[in-house]
Amino acid sequence: MNNNLVPAMENAAILRDWFDRVDSDKTGSITAPQLKGAFAVGNLDFPISVVQQMIRMYDFDRNGTMSFGEFNALNKFLIKVQHCFSELERGRGYLVPDDVYEALLKIGISLDSPAFYTVCESFDQKKNGRFRLDDFISLCIFVQSARNMFNSFDTSKQGRISLDLNQFIYCTANCRI
């Protein structure tokens, strides 16, 4: 999925055709290695752990693969993330941390400074303060996954949770990248 391919995939027929090509064994679902390979064709190089996290985020039936419906949900998130990236990259091909902060706000994610800079440091692959599209998507996948996990424990919607050790282990095992 390069910068030109994702918006075109807003069309359901194009998205279905792409999904069917990635589903090379014709099982009706795609695996993490298949999805990673498809992204690589579009010049997006994600570690397999990030691709697995993408699948976990939208694997509604929890079978470890993505059906077309699940992939469609992931695609909508990726389009939203890419639009934010495109609006803020200013022809440079990357975002700087201030842009990343603004983009996260546009996506609906607000982090305090320590959390934000820790996340940026973790996803700045080259440690140069520049976030290419794949770095930014990886960061957004992590933050959205962490937020989803947090929200599942924040049943009173207070913005605070208490976890016992077992719950904490569950969270860290499911939010790792």
Q: Which residues pair with 30 in a beta bridge?
A: 66
All residues at 6 or more sequence positions from 53 whose CB lies less than 8 Å from its CB, including other chains: 141, 142, 145, 175, 176, 177
Q: Is the dihedral of CA 11, 17, 21, 24 positive or negative?
A: positive
- The phi-psi region of residue 138 (left if phi > 0; otherwise alpha if psi is between -120 and 50; otherwise beta) is alpha
Output the six-digit token pair for 84.
């934010």
Could you list the mean pLDDT of each consecutive 10-residue stretch along the chain, which spans 177 residues? 45 86 93 90 84 91 93 91 94 96 94 94 92 93 89 89 87 65
Q: Is the dihedral of CA 142, 143, 144, 148 positive or negative?
A: positive
What confidence tens digit (pLDDT) does each residue in 78-118 have? 999 999 999 999 999 999 999 999 999 999 999 999 999 99
> Which residue, among 63, 61, 39, has the nearest Cα to 51 in the 3D structure?
39
Binning the chain into helix, strand and coil, the percentages to the nearest 5 are: 65, 5, 35
Total-model pTM: 0.83
For the chain, the domains span 5-175
Q: What CATH class is the domain 5-175? A: mainly alpha
